[in-house]
Amino acid sequence: MMEHEARESVAVRLYREQKLSHGQLAKFLGIGRGQVDEVLGRHGPFDEFTAEEIAKQAQSLQRIREAGPS
């Protein structure tokens, strides 16, 4: 059981790093594509943005707010 959990954890990490596609993740884990979302859900939320990207977006929003209505 522990081997399966470790394999699943590694596979999810590779998926989140965009090194595996959704279909590849399913194949790697030996599950159907429909089950992949369940696996991803067990491993917590998935942030598609890096901390740097979020910081840049926050700075842009702040500049827009400071500029006020056009």
pLDDT, one tens digit for every residue, the chain (70 residues): 688 889 999 999 999 888 999 999 999 999 998 899 999 988 887 666 677 877 888 898 888 888 877 6
Query: b/e per residue, 32-56, with b = 16+ CB within 10 A?
Result: eeeebeebbeeeeeeeeeeeeeeee
Per-residue tokens: 8: 């699943």
Residue in this structure with the two tokens 């590694």, named with its chain if needed: 10
**Distance, CA of 57 to CA of 66 (rounded, Å):** 14
pLDDT reported for residue 25: 94
